[in-house]
Amino acid sequence: MISVDEALARIRDGLTPLGAEQVALSDAHGRVLAEDLAARRTQPPFAVSAMDGYAVRAADVATLPTRLKLVGYIQAGGRHEGTVGPGETVRIFTGARLPDGADSVVIQEDTEAGDGMVLVRDRVGEFGPGRHVRQAGIDFVEGQVGLTAGRRLTARDVGLAAAMNRPWLMVHRRPRVAILPTGDEVALPGDPIGPNQIVSSNGAALGALVAAAGGLPIHLGIARDDGDTLKTMARGAEGADLLVTIGGASVGEHDLVRKALGEIGLAVDFWKIAMRPGKPLMFGRLGTTAVLGLPGNPVSALVCGMLFLRPALDRLQGLPGTGPVAEPARAGVELKANDGRQDYLRARLSRDPDGALIATPFARQDSSMMSALAGADCLILRPPSAAAVPTGGAVKVIRLSDGTDAF
């Protein structure tokens, strides 16, 4: 048995980022950049007003009140053709190009206009050249790299890429992930269910996880616990970047998946890790397709999906693939000392009055209970041989998605 961290490192080492493809900016959200993205424009490309008001020469408003001659009017997108001379001013609006000759802007609240003249009554705080002006290039300059390769693009990044005038982006190709649940005991939702069967949930949940993580799930269907069937169905993974098998690691007295896929060339890297829920996790390679074998228990399969499949998908898309980040919280109840396996307790999160996170594990941690996993807010990470933790003691938690992340 190897540790969770070693398993993660070996998965990372066993995978390389997929090649790049070109996508339109409107399809780029959530994709991972495969190139450094340099600006094709300087932003702003010229000095612009930061306020609605009057473009002036700072020297002309050094002593107040003063009256300036109104010689023009500029909206955003427009331009004043002449030069603002001494004693002159131009009406200007936020985002409009500062006219030649002017070096600053007096905000409209400090002025009174009439009869072709503008009275500047007052001004707040320091004033000098550049006041209320956005200089050319304060956001970025042409050629400057605004977004770097390996970044997963947020909505904000999409906006920045647009501002940089980049309508097309190179991103890492989506990983094609073949999903192969195994087992005589499971039937698909809605299909006839035998008297000794339960409904299969792992394929559906892992397919959702794969898609949410940027991959393309390919559902191969459920393989019965039979070597020949497994070998035939695994052929559906040809051309996939990753084959995810679920269950079949300790069927009867056999390790069915490893045995059957071994006969068609599976090279196993490792197949047991010191964790709970989990343990029979397998990683290897079948030709050009990486293979990740997840345990069959639904909670184990999904927790291992988050801890190992998700980082594998990240890695294939050009991200580091370092796994989920654990953050500090306090234990809501006393936690017993842990044994040699790293434990991930399903737990609820709350906040104590001072704002600290409180993580309280469910009393029942059975790895067959999907309802507890669905209702959990986080997993409490208990390292191997961790000492007991009193109520209120420090723990690390991995937050689970509530599906609402967007910005």
List the interface residues with a second copy, window 152-171 (CB under 8 A).
Answer: 152-168
List binders of a second copy among 3-22 (CB under 8 A): none
By CB under 8 A, what part of segment 173-212 binds a second copy? 183-186, 188-190, 193-209, 211-212
Give, as ranges, the residues between 74 and 93 that touch a second copy (CB under 8 A): 75-79, 93
- Separation of alpha carbons 244 and 208, rounded Å: 13
Nearest approach in angstroms of CB 209 to a second copy is 4
- Based on the shown chain and the rule CB under 8 A, indicate whether residue 255 belongs to the binding site for a second copy: no
Site for a second copy in 261-290 (CB under 8 A): none
Query: Closest CB to a second copy among 59 and 145?
Result: 145
Phi/psi at 85 (5° precision): -90, 175
* Binding flag, residue 405, a second copy (CB under 8 A): yes
Span from 46-54, 64-72, 232-240, 271-279 in contact with a second copy (CB under 8 A): 46-54
Residue 211 CB, shortest distance to a second copy, in Å, is 6
Three-state secondary structure of the chain = CECHHHHHHHHHHCCCCCCEEEEEHHHCCCCEECCCEECCCCECCCCEECCCEEEECHHHHCCCCEEEEEEEEECCCCCCCCECCCCEEEEECCCCECCECCCEEEEHHHEEEECCEEEECCCCCCCCCCCCEECCCCCECCCCEEECCCCECCHHHHHHHHHCCCCEEEEECCCEEEEEEECCCEECCCCCCCCCCEECCHHHHHHHHHHHCCCEEEECCCECCCHHHHHHHHHHHCCCCEEEEECCCCECCECHHHHHHHHCCCEEEECCECEECCCCCEEEEECCEEEEEECCCHHHHHHHHHHHHHHHHHHHCCCCCCCCCCEEEEECCCECCCCCCEEEEEEEEEECCCCCEEEEECCCCCCCCHHHHHHCCEEEEECCCCCCECCCCEEEEEECCCCCCCC
Question: Of residues 175, 277, 293, 298, which one binds a second copy by CB under 8 A?
Answer: 298
Q: Looking at 18, 213, 243, 312, which residue binds a second copy (CB under 8 A)?
A: 213
For a second copy, which stretch binds (CB under 8 A), given 24-32, 114-122, 235-243, 259-267? 24-32
Rule CB under 8 A: is residue 50 a binding residue for a second copy? yes
**Choice between 324 and 383, CB closer to a second copy:** 324
Q: Count the site residues for a second copy by CB under 8 A.
A: 114
Assess 125 for contact with a second copy (CB under 8 A): no
Q: Round to whole Å and give the CA distance between 273 and 275.
A: 6
Of positions 17, 293, 296, 361, contacts a second copy by CB under 8 A: 296
Q: How far is the CB of 256 from a second copy (least distance, A)?
A: 10
Q: Considering the rule CB under 8 A, would residue 96 count as an interface residue with a second copy? A: yes
Q: Is residue 241 part of the contact set for a second copy (CB under 8 A)? A: no
Q: Does 328 bind a second copy (CB under 8 A)?
A: yes
Q: In whole angstroms, how close is the CB of 63 to a second copy at the nearest point?
A: 28
Give min distance, CB of 265 to a second copy, in A.
26
Task: Indicate the residue among 36 and 267 with the shorter CB distance to a second copy.
Answer: 36
Question: Which one of the spans 117-125, 236-244, 270-278, 396-404 is the region binding a second copy (CB under 8 A)?
Answer: 396-404
Q: Which of 120, 251, 358, 389 binds a second copy (CB under 8 A)?
A: 251
